[in-house]
Every structure is written in structure tokens, then in C-alpha cells.
Chain A
Amino acid sequence: MSVRPRTVAALLALAGLAALIAWAASELTPFGTPSGPANAIVRTLVHERHAANTVNGVTYDLRGLDTLGEELILFVAALGSAVLLRHGRGEDVEQERGEDERGAARTPDALRAAGTALVGPLVVLGVYVVVHGHLSPGGGFQGGVVLAAGLLLVYAAGQVMALKRVEPTALVEVADATGALAYALVAAAGLVFATAALENFLPFGTTGNLLSAGTIPVLSVAVGVEVTGAVALILTELLDQTLLRGGE
């Protein structure tokens, strides 16, 4: 379609869709009166799993299968983006290597220092958020992105050379796969140590303690590792593409 018929068609379609959804929404229970079993779920998770943050109780226990699927979505997407971006890259490795060093050299010292200084706090914050997910807002996903941002900062602050020595992409790829693998293994372990896959088989401890809620914090850490790896993989691949290639 050319622009005009497309615009007209879109207007008609979306007006119809909006009207339908508004009609449906008018039959929902009024805002502020949920129809879901909110309090029953909170009580169940606190009493039976000793999880203080029941959102993570739902995420990593009650509906842990959703999260397994979600982790694999992230895993596949990160891997896939990396493969897609690397496609057709082999031919100019030489050029890449040369520019690699220039990329490092271009970064001003002040920025490099500022970036390096921020890394420590970011990593501490990320780890804290990951391991306290069952107690307070946060968890593997939120902390993982913070950790990935820390890694990216190292990269962007011109420490490319330092990181290149440990092959950052290989490292984050390993983290990406390890996290996903760990989640799946804990899920399968439920069959061995309890009666069902994803069953919470560790002691539940005292509500509010760091070591409580059984496998919930374990899975949260697995997700944290996975997310750190996945997000860092995507970002470093894109960064590689922009900083180290092209620009001639």
C-alpha cells in the first residue's frame, strides 16, 4: 500500500479496535477492586514458603515455569542478536583489530577514571539487589541489568584492552548460558529431592532472613547471572559494531 491508503486503513482499524477495547474495559471490575486472589496468594507464600517479597515468590516459585520460559527467551534473544550481528564480520577482522586499539585510545582519561570509579558501586548495588530479591523489591532481573550496566561501563570507559584480554564476549556468553542452565537444573532437581519439577526443596528458614524461602533466592541468583550475561552480551556486541567497525 502507498502512504495514503495505509493511513486511512490504519485509522479505521485502530478506531474500531479502540472502541472494542473500551467496550470490553467497561465490563471489567472497577479500578481498585481486583478479581484475583491477591491476599490468599500473599498468605500462602508467606506461610508456606517464608517469602517476604511475594512478587518474587510468585516469580520464582508459584509461577516459576513462566520465569524459566522467560529466562530462555532472554537467553535465545541474546545469543541470536550476537550471532546476527556477527554475521559477515569475519572478513574484516584485521581492520577490526587495528581500530580496536584506536577505540581505546580515543577515550579521554577523565571519562575513563569516572567510569572506573562507578564500576565498584554499581557492582555492589547489583549484587545486593540480586540476593535480596526475596526480601525487598528487586531480584535477579533488576540486579542483573545493573550488573550488566557496570560491565558496559568498564567497556565504554576505555578499558577495552583490559577486557579484551579476558575475552569479554566469551565471558558474558558463558554467564548467559550458565544462568539459564542453572535455572533448568534447579527445576529438574525438584524431581530428585522432592516430588515435582520446580518444587521448592530447600529449607524455608525464617521469613525476612537472607537465607530463607528455599530455592527462591537460588533461582533469583541464577536469573541474575543469566540477565547480566545476556544484557551485557547484547550491549557489547552492539558496541563492538559501532565503535570498532565502520567509521572509515
Chain B
Amino acid sequence: MTVLALSVLVPMIAGTVLSLTASVERRPAAAATAFAATLASLVLLAVALAHVGDGRTVVWWGNWPPHGRVVGIDFAVDGLGGGLALFVTALALPALLMAGYAIRASAQLFYGVCLVFVAAMVGYCLTGDLFDLFVFFELMSVAAYVLVGYEVRERAPLEGALTFAITNSVGSILFLFGIGLLYGKVGALNMAQLGHGLQAVGPSGLVCVAFALVSVGLLVKAAVVPFHFWTADAYGVAPTPVLILLAGVFSELGLYGFARVFWTVFEPALAGHHDAVRAIFVGLGIATGLLGAVLALAQHHLLRMLAFVVVSQIGLFLVGIGLLSADGLAGSAIFVVGDGFAKAALFVCVGVVTHRYDAAGERALHGRARALWPLGLAFGLAALTVADLPPFGAFLGRSLIEDAALSAPGWAWVPAVMALVSALAAGALLRAGLRVFRGVGEPASRDARFTSDEAGGDEREDVAVGVPAALAGALVLAALVWGLVPGLAQSVTAAAARFTDTAGYAAAVLGGGSGVAAPVVPHVAGPGATAYLYATATLLGAGVVAWLGVAGRSVPRTAARAVDAVRALHSGHPGDYVAWTAGGAAVLGALFALTLR
């Protein structure tokens, strides 16, 4: 399976060739090349995934297999890592398609950078080396900084790209510092070997601090509270094709990295402390979900609202991962894909509307997009997916997380909070959709924090609607079909059980795995009555929230004041965001120090 390397190399080669030939810009050829390279990577990953089957595939770059200890860098592919890489390439195709409509200047270079971005994300999903994970992490970050600022719309605030870059750079440095501490202790960079070495160290101060620093780096990317500040600023400025990838997979990759690093590197040292780790990360997930949902509700700027919806969903994914069980993790994995397609559809719709009417505020757009009803329909369905509508893929994933929470002692209240989070977030989306696409109710009230986008420009007929609408429809369909794949829940749970099987992973990478028993795969039933109950509650809640919003009901003054205070913290000041990141790192480290030792 050494050809697996090509899944990263092909997009890289195509990307560099495109920029090499950028002076003779041939747009259709460039688009076709980008498509072909991404498709090639997708096919390779699909073949690899079939090859992985019930095990793991380990490939050593440069043909340096371990001799007693690891010297080279490996790609260690299992169901979840390979599957996420596959999803990255699958979502890159609609993004590249949208680039044909959204990017005007230097399109060929844009395709080139996009391909490198995709290659970085694929490599990040497959690698088994902690420093290499960091390199791909950094590559996808730098590509994202460039892509976010690539084609700046006239009204968009460019400093969003800047706060994004500064905050994420600080996260990367903390991550690398953590790697330095680990290498200083164990003298290894391979994740399996690090885990093996840390087992002897146990939950020492160094392990706690390194875990905190590495987690912060990854959680900044994932936009978990209090590291989420950059999202709204960055989403407010990025071009639509970039938003598809940012919202659909980029943040989720941060969570994937966290899960991977926890289960391979830190789990052996923290084996006896799962309860504390669970409490911390489920707590963080819930805080992220609630904060994101409330802020989404308070927003009238469509892109920023979507950004906070993304944050709220990230919180729910983190809940699934933080439960530290195979079914919870499987739920998050299914949820990520189903929700990723839906969010991509949302961003396509909003991208077209904001470009066509040259405004991004609910007030300025009120009723203006009535003619674009196919987009409105796709937007509405995607919003209902966020509200847990069966039988979409997101619903299936959530039902697994709910079951995992209900079966974990002390966490049975979590599904109710998840329903609340999604009702608020989806309610915000439905409210915006009803206003923008249907003109329901009175225009939104003026937003004191947001005055630059009051009017909105003339309608720009040249902004295409047909193909994007079809694309949004296809994405919604994909989100639906994903939930109907037969046997999906059970096979992803099996993959998740292997993902959380630290000993099995180490044996596959380091060799000598004959004595390791196969992991126990919990049996998962399909969504049961409780799942439909929570879904109904969420949908009703979202409807009520949307109706209250459209009807212009004002919230109690104290609540409004509290929300406004929280919004004020999102000051757009990079120094503030860095302070939050450093403070979050210190608090997380202190929590680990207090609970894990």
C-alpha cells in the first residue's frame, strides 16, 4: 500500500504545476486539473480504506521501518483517519466547483493553493508522527490564512484574516512547545512510541502540561471555547469555496487531531483518569455548544451567524469525543460528515445571497432573496438538519452520542442540553432564512454592534445562481443519503473501537502485535424512541425560537445585557484573543494538574 503516499503527493504536484503555469492562465484547464487531482486522491483513499478493512495500514516514508525503535515517519491509516481524509477530498470537489463562480482574480493560483490545502488536510489525517502532524497542521493553517484573505470583498473586514492568523499561530507555537517537552522526556516523535514511553512516566506534571499545550494548539483550530474567537472574524471575510472547507472539515480536523493524540500519545499515561478527562472535555464541549448557539441567535450578520453555528456544532462533536467511548466517538464521526455536507450547503446559499445583494445583514437582506427560492429551500432543509431532522446523517450520529451519554453514569442530562443547543442554533438559521428568503415578519432591528452593513448594494445579476443552487441541493441530498447508508452505525462504531484501541495501534505501528487482543466492538442499535423524542423536541424548539425571532419578540433585558457583554468580548483585537488563548492554556493545564495526578 506504499502508493498511499500519492494521495498527498498528487495534489501537491498538481498544485505546484498550476502555479508554475500561472502566467499562461487557462481557467478551464486549471479547474479540470484541480478536479482531476482531487478525484485521484479521493479514489486512492477509497481504495486504501477498502484495503484497511478491519485493521490498520502502516506505510513508512522513505522505507525506514522501525528497527527496535522508530526512526522514520509513518502513515498509519485506520477507518476513522482514512475516512476523514476521504471526506476532505469529497468536500473539496464542491469547493473547487464554487471557486469557478466566486474567484475572479488569479484563479489558477487559487486552485494551486487549494490543492496544497487539501493535500495538507489529507496528510494530517493519515500521519502517525506527532511532529509531522504539526507540519501538516501548519501547512493547512498557512494555506488557510492565504485563502481566507484571497479575494476580499469590498465590504468585508480584512482584519478577520489577520486575527485568524495571529491566534492560530499562537496555538501552533504552544502545540510545538508541547511536542518539545514530550521529546525531551521520551526522545521520540512517533505517536505510538511516545505513548509507549509515556506509559512509564505516568500522569506527571510534564505529561499534564504537555497535554494541555498540545490540546490548546488543536482546540484553537477546532474553535472550542475559549479559543473560538477567531472564527466569526475569519468567516466574515473568506470566499465561499474556502468557507465550504473551513466550516465542513477544517475545524473538525482540530478535534480529530485531539482525539488521535489523546488515544495514541496520552491515554497510556492517563489510563486511570478517564473520568476526569471526560468531565473536562464534555464540559468544554457543552460550554462551546451553548455559547456558540446563543451568539448565533444574537447575530444578524449571516456569515458570522453561521460561524457561531459552526462553533455550537463543534461543541456537540467534542461532547461525543469527550465521552471517551467507541460509540460516542462513532457518533461524532457520523455527525461530522452529515453536518459537514449540510454546513457546506448553508455556506453556498449564503455565499450566493451575500454576493448577489452585496450585503450580509439580515436587515439589509430582508425579503430580497424571494426570487431565489431553490436556494431558500436548500437553506431551510440544511437548517433543519442542524435541528436534528431524521433521517439525515446528522440525526444518526447524534443518536449514537445520545445513547453513549445515556449509558455513561452521571451524563444522562447531556442529550437534553444538546437538544437545547441545536434548537437555539437552528432557530437562528431558520429565522434568518425566513426573513431573507421569504420576507416574513418585520425586518430585523438595528444591531448596535454592527452598523457597516445597513444598506446593501444593488442586485448584481452577474452572480450565478443556477449551478450553486443545484450544488446546494446535491449537498443536502448527500447529507440525507449519508444517514441512509445501511449498516453505517455499526461499521463506524467498529472503526471507532479500533481508533480507541491504544494497544492495538501501538502494536500495528511498532510491530509485535501478536499478543494484543482485538478490541471489543459495542453493538449499536439503530436510532431508538429516545432519539426520535430528542429530535422532535429539537425541531419544535427550533421552530419556536425562529417564530419568536421573526415576530420580533424582545428578550428580557437582563438576558440581553448578558448576551451583549459576551458579544463585547469578541472585540476583533488580536491581543485579546491571544490573552484568551494563553489564559485558556493556563486554566486547562491547572485543571489537568489538579485532576489527573
Cβ B150 vs Cβ A83 within 8 A: yes
**A188 nearest CB neighbor, chain B only:** B9
Chain A residues contacting B575 (CB-CB under 8 Å) are 6, 10
Cβ A1 vs Cβ B209 within 8 A: no
**B212 nearest CB neighbor, chain A only:** A20
The yes or no answer to B72 lying at the interface (CB within 8 A) is yes
Cβ B209 vs Cβ A62 within 8 A: no
The yes or no answer to B61 lying at the interface (CB within 8 A) is yes
Cβ A188 vs Cβ B13 within 8 A: yes
Cβ A181 vs Cβ B16 within 8 A: yes
> If A1-B571, A6-B575 touch, does A66 touch B5 (CB 8 Å cutoff)?
no
Measured between alpha carbons, how far is A248 from B400 in the docked complex, in Å? 65
Cβ B589 vs Cβ A20 within 8 A: yes
The yes or no answer to B377 lying at the interface (CB within 8 A) is no
Q: For chain A, residues 67 to 102, give those with C-beta under 8 angstroms from any C-beta of chain B.
A: 68-70, 72-73, 75-77, 79-81, 83-84, 87
Chain B residues contacting A197 (CB-CB under 8 Å) are 2, 5-6, 9, 61-62
Cβ B185 vs Cβ A190 within 8 A: no
> If A10-B579, A23-B209, A181-B17 touch, does A191 touch B5 (CB 8 Å cutoff)?
yes
**A12 nearest CB neighbor, chain B only:** B583
Which of B3, B13, B64 is in CB contact (< 8 Å) with A191?
A: B3
Measured between alpha carbons, how far is A178 from B593 in the docked complex, in Å? 49
Measured between alpha carbons, how far is A178 from B582 in the docked complex, in Å? 39
Residues 188-208 of chain A: 1 if any B CB is under 8 Å from the residue's CB, otherwise 0? Answer: 101100111111100000000
Cβ A185 vs Cβ B13 within 8 A: yes
Which of A16, A25, A62 is in CB contact (< 8 Å) with B589?
A: A16
Q: Quick check: which of A34-42, A146-154, A158-166 contacts chain B, the rest being far away?
A: A34-42
> If A29-B184, A62-B72 touch, does A73 touch B63 (CB 8 Å cutoff)?
no
> If A76-B116, A196-B2, A200-B62 touch, does A62 touch B71 (CB 8 Å cutoff)?
yes
Measured between alpha carbons, how far is A34 from B593 in the docked complex, in Å? 25
Chain B residues contacting A184 (CB-CB under 8 Å) are 9, 12-13, 16
Chain B residues contacting A81 (CB-CB under 8 Å) are 146
The yes or no answer to B181 lying at the interface (CB within 8 A) is yes
Chain B residues contacting A174 (CB-CB under 8 Å) are 20
Interface bin, chain A: 35 or more
Measured between alpha carbons, how far is A40 from B346 in the docked complex, in Å? 54
Task: Summarize A's interface: helix, strand, loop or mixed.
Answer: helix
> If A13-B579, A191-B3 touch, does A64 touch B61 (CB 8 Å cutoff)?
yes
Chain A residues contacting B583 (CB-CB under 8 Å) are 9, 12-13, 16
Cβ B582 vs Cβ A17 within 8 A: yes
Chain B residues contacting A61 (CB-CB under 8 Å) are 62
Cβ B576 vs Cβ A6 within 8 A: yes
Cβ A20 vs Cβ B590 within 8 A: yes
Measured between alpha carbons, how far is A77 from B117 in the docked complex, in Å? 12
The yes or no answer to B164 lying at the interface (CB within 8 A) is no
Residues 413-447 of chain B: 1 if any A CB is under 8 Å from the residue's CB, otherwise 0? Answer: 00000000000000000000000000000000000
Measured between alpha carbons, how far is A73 from B187 in the docked complex, in Å? 26
The yes or no answer to B544 lying at the interface (CB within 8 A) is no
The yes or no answer to B557 lying at the interface (CB within 8 A) is no
Chain B residues contacting A14 (CB-CB under 8 Å) are 582, 586
Which of A16, A65, A77, A194 is in CB contact (< 8 Å) with B146?
A: A77
In whole Å, how far is A77's beta carbon from the nearest beta carbon of chain B?
A: 5
**A201 nearest CB neighbor, chain B only:** B63
In whole Å, how far is A115's beta carbon from the nearest beta carbon of chain B?
A: 28
Which of A17, A28, A178, A191 is in CB contact (< 8 Å) with B184?
A: A28
Cβ A37 vs Cβ B187 within 8 A: yes
Chain B residues contacting A27 (CB-CB under 8 Å) are 185, 204-206
Q: Quick check: which of B131-139, B351-359, B379-387, B474-482 contacts chain A, the rest being far away?
A: B131-139
The yes or no answer to B547 lying at the interface (CB within 8 A) is no
Measured between alpha carbons, how far is A141 from B120 in the docked complex, in Å? 21
**B117 nearest CB neighbor, chain A only:** A76
Cβ B184 vs Cβ A35 within 8 A: yes
Residues 21-49 of chain A: 1 if any B CB is under 8 Å from the residue's CB, otherwise 0? Answer: 10111111100001111001100100000
Chain A residues contacting B582 (CB-CB under 8 Å) are 10, 13-14, 17
Chain A residues contacting B123 (CB-CB under 8 Å) are 69
Residues 61-77 of chain B: 1 if any A CB is under 8 Å from the residue's CB, otherwise 0? Answer: 11110000101110000
The yes or no answer to B186 lying at the interface (CB within 8 A) is yes
Q: Quick check: which of B106-114, B252-260, B262-270, B458-466 contacts chain A, the rest being far away?
A: B106-114
Chain A residues contacting B181 (CB-CB under 8 Å) are 24-25, 28
The yes or no answer to B101 lying at the interface (CB within 8 A) is no
In whole Å, how far is B206's beta carbon from the nearest beta carbon of chain A?
A: 4
**A84 nearest CB neighbor, chain B only:** B149
Measured between alpha carbons, how far is A34 from B132 in the docked complex, in Å? 21
Q: For chain B, residues 6 to 62, give those with C-beta under 8 angstroms from any C-beta of chain A.
A: 6, 9, 12-13, 16-17, 19-20, 22-23, 59-62
The yes or no answer to B573 lying at the interface (CB within 8 A) is yes
Write 26 A-B pairs (CB below 8 A) sorted by A numbering.
Answer: A6-B575, A13-B579, A16-B589, A17-B589, A20-B209, A23-B209, A27-B205, A34-B187, A35-B187, A36-B188, A37-B69, A62-B72, A63-B131, A69-B135, A70-B135, A72-B12, A73-B139, A76-B117, A80-B149, A80-B150, A177-B20, A180-B16, A188-B5, A196-B62, A197-B62, A198-B62
In addition to A63-B73, A72-B119, A81-B146, 6 A-B residue pairs with Cβ atoms within 8 Å of each other are A17-B585, A27-B206, A76-B113, A178-B16, A188-B5, A196-B61
